[in-house]
Structures are given as C-alpha cells and as structure tokens.
C-alpha cells in the first residue's frame, strides 16, 4: 500500500516585478528617518575628524619617542599619550556617534546644534590642553583644562537629555 506524503510547500505567490537598478527597497530611501531626524552633517563629523586625527597623532608620538613605552609606565609622556588615545580618539568618535545616532534611532530632533558646536570647542580645547599639560607635567593646568573638558561634557549631557525628553514614542531602542 503506497502512502503519499503531504505537501509542505507554501502556496506560490505571484512574483513581484523586479526593481530597476539603484531603486531602494520598499521602506528604504531618502525620506527615511536618517535624513529627517539627522542633525547637520557637521555636528558629528567634527568629532569624528578630531578622533581620526588623534589616533595617528598618538601613533606618531610613539614612533618619534619609542622610549616612552620602554620607560617606567607612570611617567608624564605615557599619561599624555593615553589621554590622547582615550579622550582624543575614543571619546571624540563616541561623542560624534552619539550626536548622530540618538536623534536618528529615536526619531527625534537634536535639541540644539549650537550647544553641540560649543561642546565641540570645549572638547577640543580641553583634550588638547590636557594632553599638552600632561606632556609638560603641569598638573595645575591639567586641572584647568580638565574643567573645560568637563564643561563640554555637561553641555553634551544637557543637550542629549533635552533631546531624550522629546522622543515621540518610547520603544526598545529608547530604553
């Protein structure tokens, strides 16, 4: 006795017409949230450019002065290079990414691009001053430039805090 196996194939749907080359898929395009809610391109780009410049600057610093790594690791030059990497490279890129991603992912506008520009100026002056003063080992001035950097972080926190207050709908991304 022959047993026929049941057919598990899904019913065939009519084939969709092919899209011309260069045409975005449905739901993707130039009118999506990336262009509607994104801040001006200069806001995140400034931070990313500084970050991208800080990385080879720190590498060049170590290429010119390789004795920095050979010496006792708690010296002024190692501390300066570390701050250049952490605050100059990692911090700048992370801040630029936050300025771009928070408004786009949460579908809201950045509270103030003007505050973001002031934050950039304070961040740049603070990081450059801290690195230079660590290099010279003038710890009083390091504190002053650290305060400038902290003021910039305060502007960043205020700006993104006000941005988060305007999120239209709280979803998994917002939490």
Domains in the chain: boundaries: 39-165
Q: How far apart are CA 162 and CA 110, in angstroms?
A: 8
Question: CA-CA distances (angstroms) from residue 122 to 9, 47, 125?
Answer: 63, 12, 5
Average pLDDT over residues 36-55: 92
User: Percentage of residues in the chain with pLDDT exceeding 70?
Assistant: 78
The pLDDT tens digits of the residues spanning 97-116 come to 999 989 988 888 999 999 99
pLDDT of res. 20: 54
pLDDT of res. 93: 98
Q: Is the pTM of this model over 0.85?
A: no
Query: Are 157 and 111 a contacting pair, CB within 8 Å?
Result: no
User: Percentage of residues in the chain with pLDDT exceeding 90?
Assistant: 55
- Predicted confidence band of residue 37 (pLDDT cuts 50, 70, 90): confident
Does residue 27 carry a pLDDT above 60? no
- Predicted confidence band of residue 22 (pLDDT cuts 50, 70, 90): very low
How many other CB atoms sit within 10 Å of the CB of residue 41?
Answer: 9
The pLDDT tens digits of the residues spanning 114-170 come to 999 999 999 999 999 999 999 999 999 999 999 999 999 999 999 999 999 988 877
Q: Which of 57-71, 73-87, 129-143 has the highest mean pLDDT?
A: 129-143
Token pair belonging to 115: 């505050």
- Predicted confidence band of residue 172 (pLDDT cuts 50, 70, 90): confident
């Amino acid at each position: 006795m022959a047993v026929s196996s049941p057919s598990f194939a899904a019913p065939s749907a009519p084939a969709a017409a092919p899209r011309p080359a260069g045409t975005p898929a449905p739901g993707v395009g130039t009118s999506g949230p990336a262009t509607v809610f994104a801040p001006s391109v200069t806001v995140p780009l400034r931070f990313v450019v500084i970050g991208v410049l800080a990385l080879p600057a720190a590498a060049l610093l170590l290429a010119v002065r390789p004795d920095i790594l050979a010496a006792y690791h708690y010296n002024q030059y190692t501390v300066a290079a570390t701050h250049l990497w952490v605050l100059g490279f990692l911090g700048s890129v992370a801040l630029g990414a936050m300025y771009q991603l928070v408004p786009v992912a949460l579908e809201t506008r950045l509270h103030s691009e003007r505050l973001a520009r002031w934050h950039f100026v304070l961040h740049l002056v603070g990081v450059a001053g801290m690195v230079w003063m660590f290099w010279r080992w003038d710890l009083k001035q390091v504190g002053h430039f650290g305060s400038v950097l902290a003021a910039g972080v305060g502007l960043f926190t205020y700006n993104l805090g006000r941005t988060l207050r305007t999120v239209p709908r709280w979803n998994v991304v917002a939490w």
